[in-house]
Structure 1
Amino acid sequence: MKAILVGASGAIGRCLLQDLLNDSNYKEVLILVRRKSDIEHPKLKQLVIDFNRLSDYSADLKGDAVFCCLGTTKSQTPDQKEYLKIDYQYPLDIAWMAYTNGAQSYHLVSAMGADKNSSFFYNRTKGEVESELKTVPFKSIHIYRPSLLDGKRTQKRFGESVLNSLMQLINPLLMGSWKKYRSIKVESVAKVMLAQSLNDQKGIFIHPSDQIQMLSDVL
């Protein structure tokens, strides 16, 4: 199989890239990047692109499974138009191009609270991209909704670091229906994304954070 990965420089994306490169089911991993990565591997292929001109690279987006780990924050991208490009438009444009070229499955990292009817811009954007993605006729679509991510970031987020430290104390107290609010390791999300891409399933699947953790625990 051949994988297409966008967002390989993010916390989940970096873990997923290593998992894909180490998995014998994938013979090639194509990553879409703004700047060439220092990572070298015989299975790795890098496509340096201008995301504002995605259609110029449509012929190159050929693979069996597409993994989208794109995402930004309000502090990183305060302009809502730019934010929408990254969290909404790019994932959908890539989806349609890859589908047209024969891709069978699409794996999107969304977020807990995604809701296209939400009054909160972040949650609404995540909900809208999920809704639109479901119209692309892939054989299977997997949407992952992790809670607070626990993992190394390329850019330090002080508030998130403090919250993650606090969550280490709170996590064991969150039981039953509250389990989905536990923080989750980025490695767990990446591991489940890889595993789900190897399942011969048809349909649209939503994976809440507690389910992702449960699946990760048995892998």
Structure 2
Amino acid sequence: MIYPTDVCMTGVTGLVGHELLLLLAHIDEIKSIKAVSRRPLGRIPPKTDNIILDFENLEKHQEALKASIFICCLGTTIKKAGSQEAFRKVDYDYVVKFAKVAEHVGAQKLLVISALGADSKSGIFYNRVKGEMEEALRGLQIPQIEIFQPSLILGERKEVRRGEEFAQKISPVQG
């Protein structure tokens, strides 16, 4: 028997998070979704409460975020963030803070989007930060932690990503 569950997720304004939020809203077994973001979502799907928070103070809102499943789709690019330090704040600090809130409230499951090539010992800054984030998550006391490492994520974005456009053109088409 599948029991109704509640979900707390972040990264809901990005490509992957937004699509996932729309899918989750139509799954009968999900009774409620707490969509945590830094800015309003606009149209809010059914069963969804958009919780707007400053990620610097995420831990102060633990009780409002309580859920059995936590999903983190946070991520940026160094170009969009503006610096390596700002990138690390989003892709490491905020992800780990969100996961620690999940641990604190007794979440049963944590799902996180990382990246192919994540490796804490990598000479590539992006991959190293993703690897360090994964290591930090594995040390948490959450019964089930799933880390997904997609390669190129395709879809319509609001901003132009020339590197991804180039990679898409030279990548073999998967069907």
Give me the TM-score of the superposition, normalised by structure 1.
Answer: 0.74
Residue in structure 1 matching 2:77, options 69, 73, 97: 73
Q: Which residue of 2 aligns with 1:61?
A: 65
Distance 2:143 2:160 in 1: 37
Residue in structure 1 matching 2:146, options 142, 148, 165: 142
Distance 1:117 1:133 in 2: 16
Contact 2:22 2:45 in 1 (8 A): no
Alignment-mate amino acid for residue 117 of structure 1: K
Alignment-mate amino acid for residue 70 of structure 1: L
Q: Which residue of 2 aligns with 1:34?
A: 38
**SS of corresponding position for 1:119:** coil
Which stretch of structure 1 is more off in the superposition, 85-94 or 38-47? 38-47
Distance 1:82 1:147 in 2: 22
Residue in structure 2 matching 1:131, options 132, 135, 138: 135
Q: Which residue of 1 aligns with 2:122?
A: 118
Alignment-mate amino acid for residue 102 of structure 2: A
Distance 1:137 1:56 in 2: 20
Distance 1:114 1:164 in 2: 20
Tell me the alpha carbon deviations over residues 114-148 of structure 1, each in whole angstroms, 9 at most, x when there is no partner: 00011111000000000010011111000100011
Cα deviation, residue 94, structure 1 = 1.1
- Pairs aligned (count): 171
Q: Is 2:91 aligned against 1:87?
A: yes
Residue in structure 1 matching 2:50, options 42, 46, 49: 46
**SS of corresponding position for 1:151:** coil
Q: Which residue of 2 aligns with 1:9?
A: 13
Distance 2:93 2:18 in 1: 22
Name structure 1 gaps, 5 residues minimum: 173-183, 185-219
Alignment-mate amino acid for residue 161 of structure 1: E
Cα deviation, residue 156, structure 1 = 2.1
Name structure 2 gaps, 5 residues minimum: none
Which stretch of structure 1 is more off in the superposition, 49-58 or 102-111? 49-58
Contact 1:11 1:154 in 2 (8 A): no
Percentage of pairs with the same residue: 33
Distance 1:163 1:81 in 2: 25
Give me the TM-score of the superposition, normalised by structure 2.
Answer: 0.92
Residue in structure 1 matching 2:108, options 104, 107, 123: 104
Cα deviation, residue 58, structure 1 = 1.8
Distance 1:40 1:93 in 2: 24
Tell me the alpha carbon deviations over residues 182-211 of structure 1, each in whole angstroms, 9 at most, x when there is no partner: xx9xxxxxxxxxxxxxxxxxxxxxxxxxxx
